[in-house]
Amino acid sequence: MARLARLVGGFGAFLWDFVVGDDWVGAFGVAVLLGLAALLVHVGHLRAWWLLPPGVALVFAVTVRRAVRALTAAAARAPRR
């Protein structure tokens, strides 16, 4: 039983690292997009596939901008030679 618990825990850790990775904002943004699309399909009876491509592009742009800002800030704090 303990071996199964370790196996499930290890798989959960792998899955978290694979989905979330280094940036939780991207994973959260995609989860919100999927939830919004599901809500539109369920409540509005709409085909919501069109929401995902521009939404994912927007989430990607936000995550890249955050990464560039973090690198720029780190470079500014680094000692100069």
Query: How far apart are the C-alpha atoms of 27 and 63, rounded to whole Å?
Result: 10
How do residues 28-63 score in pLDDT, each as one tens digit?
999 999 999 999 999 988 898 899 999 999 999 999
Closest CA to 62 of 32, 18, 17: 32
pTM of the full predicted structure? 0.73
